[in-house]
Amino acid sequence: MLQFHVYPGGKRRIVTFSYDDGSKNDPRLVALFNKYGVKGTFHINSRRFAEMSEEDKKDYVARYDRHEVACHTVNHGWLTRMPASSLINEVMDDRRTLETYTGYPVVGMSYPSGDYDDRVIAALSACGIVYSRTTKATFNFGFPDNWLAWHPTCHHRDAEKPVAEFLARLDSEWYRPLLYIWGHSHEFKTEEDWERQENLVASLAGLEQVWYATNIEIYNYIEATRRVLVSADERILHNPSALDVWVERDKKEVFVIPAGETVTLP
């Protein structure tokens, strides 16, 4: 029996962080993530760029190197209360600005104030957004049923119990592998707040079982696994994607299917 229960490098767990608004505290948070080797996605309102010079805009985006920059709309409005044209402009203008300075397609997002409905989801899909995070904590560890309504595990202030459960199950046969923590860096107002955040990040760092990934890396990898073509006898696998994919057989053997290749399992 084949199952896609393993992730890049043969890892069996995933940790990701996600922070909104592009706060002035982001550089310190990025430095903290870099110190411990974890990864985050930073959702930016591009209205911040309006009064910046070209050099300042480049410097602003450069601080997120090694992480992902994603959309959060231009002005952080309530998306369910906008006419369709305004909603589309808010998303597409944010994309255009961020893409100018990141140099890659910005196709991830989080909902300002967690505000969305079916109409908003349809508009985001039309705008080329492939995932969007909500603010609804699940206190669970699975992948979303709908990438455009991606509920995180928890906010960082509520992370103690989920992190303890996640760590307790690192080596178990447990197929809910994703710990997703979100928040805003402007919530760190005191040195005690920063100390708590560093303790949280440190507790999750350097674990050999964990793939540390951005939101878009997770989306891209899971979608790549879903595109693998498998023969009826589960021995021949073709990976049409540009990413290497790992697969588990009979809960004991792990194989890598290189990008663009066909592999016959022994």
Q: What pLDDT does 128 receive?
A: 98
Residue 141: how many CB atoms within 10 A of its CB? 19
CA dihedral 21, 187, 139, 174 (to 10 degrees): 80
Q: Considering Cα of 71, then 122, then 105, then 216, what sign does the dihedral take?
A: positive
What CA–CA distance (Å, rounded) separates 218 from 222? 6
Helical spans, DSSP H, in 18-177: 26-36, 54-62, 84-102, 118-126, 160-168
Contact predicate 58/101, CB 8 Å = yes
List pLDDT tens digits, range 137-147.
999 999 999 99
Map tokens 């300042």 to a residue: 56
Map tokens 């409905």 to a residue: 117
List pLDDT tens digits, range 67-111.
999 999 999 999 999 999 999 999 999 999 999 999 999 999 999
What residue ranges do the domains of the chain occupy?
11-223, 228-264
List pLDDT tens digits, range 12-48.
999 999 999 999 999 999 999 999 999 999 999 999 9
Percent of the chain surpassing pLDDT 70 = 100
Output 176 or 63, whichever has higher pLDDT. 63
Output 2 or 252, whichever has higher pLDDT. 2
Please give the CATH architecture assigned to the domain spanning 11-223: Alpha-Beta Barrel (3.20)
Map tokens 């982001």 to a residue: 26
What CA–CA distance (Å, rounded) separates 158 from 20? 17
List pLDDT tens digits, range 198-234.
999 999 999 999 999 999 999 999 999 999 999 999 9
List pLDDT tens digits, range 102-160.
999 999 999 999 999 999 999 999 999 999 999 999 999 999 999 999 999 999 999 99
What six digits make up the tokens of 208?
Answer: 């050999």
